[in-house]
Structure 1
Amino acid sequence: MANNLTRFDPGTPLSRMDPFRNFDSLFNAFDLMRPLRAFDSEHIRMDVSETDQAFVVRADMPGVKKDDVKVSIDGNEVTISADVTGEQEHKQGSSMWRERFHGQQYRSFTLPQSVDDENATATCRDGVLELTLPKKPGGGAKRLTVQ
């Protein structure tokens, strides 16, 4: 005897009666939409490591010129943004099309300690942005004794 019971999941699109549940998948099927997805902030992939003196951030920014990258530091909040412009040409048999796009990539994050912005450095080489963000002296958390 086969078991035809299905567990009810209130998070499924059918149970929410979401009339637009397949609308996004329509656009995902077209390769023409790929350049527009490149502007999503998720595309700035990065690694953050910590030493005793500083935070080191390595962010992948392929195809971005160093003059188009902007980094701002406000206390312990760091923001990376870049203007992205590109052109792609596709040829398939006798068909050809060209795509041009312009937009901005953006990523903002908070570090556990304030940054000494006067001594912070940024370099961009081979599509990798590297930030060295020295910790501000005495910027660590203070623990109070409850009396």
Structure 2
Amino acid sequence: MNSLVTRGSLFDDFFKDFAPGFYVRPLHGDNLPSPAQIKVDVQESDGAFTVHAEVPGVSRDDLHVSIDGSVVSLRAEVRQHDQQSEGTKVLRSERYFGSVARSFQLPAEVDAAQAKAKYDNGVLTLTLPKKQAGNAQRLVIE
């Protein structure tokens, strides 16, 4: 997966050094997250796995979780843009859309029918009961 937009460029650096008072930083300031930037903690108990994934700034409807056997796939669609209000002058507007995805394999297969997902304050929490066999299924996030 590659980033759709890069924020730094030689053109921007030139104007930042040439006329630092006129350089306007991006309103969002950061690149799209790379898959490695989706921080994941995985814990195992006797009957289930618990996964905590950091996906800040993404709405619950833009998160997608799928389970296929022991493989868990996370996908987040990033939709950030700036809105102009009447009576304002836009000096620089940066909009970007994109998605990041991350998959990982657990040591045992997951019972997708009993799996649960919850998203609160930028942290996605998955409760994944263990099972011997399973099929891919998309979870509804609470």
Same fold (TM over 0.5): yes
The TM-score, its normalising length taken from structure 2, stands at: 0.66
RMSD across aligned positions (CA): 2.9
Q: Quote the offset at 1:39 in angstroms.
A: 3.6
Match of residue 8 from structure 1: none
- Unpaired segments ≥5 residues, structure 2: 1-7, 14-24, 84-89, 135-142
Structure possessing the higher relative contact order (Cα contacts under 8 Å, 6 or more residues apart): 2
Is the Cα contact below 8 Å between 1:43 and 1:105 reproduced in 2?
Answer: no
Secondary structure of 1:98's match? coil
2:123 matches 1:136: no
The TM-score, its normalising length taken from structure 1, stands at: 0.64
Alignment size in residue pairs: 109
Match of residue 110 from structure 2: 115
Q: Quote the offset at 1:88 in angstroms.
A: 5.3
List structure 1 segments (4+ residues) > 2 angstroms apart after TM superposition: 26-32
Choose which of 92, 104, 124 in structure 2 pairs with 1:97: 92
Match of residue 40 from structure 2: 46
Structure with greater strand percent: 1
Choose which of 78, 81, 105 in structure 2 pairs with 1:84: 78
- Unpaired segments ≥5 residues, structure 1: 1-25, 90-94, 140-147
Find the structure with the greater CA-based Rg: 1
% identical aligned pairs? 41
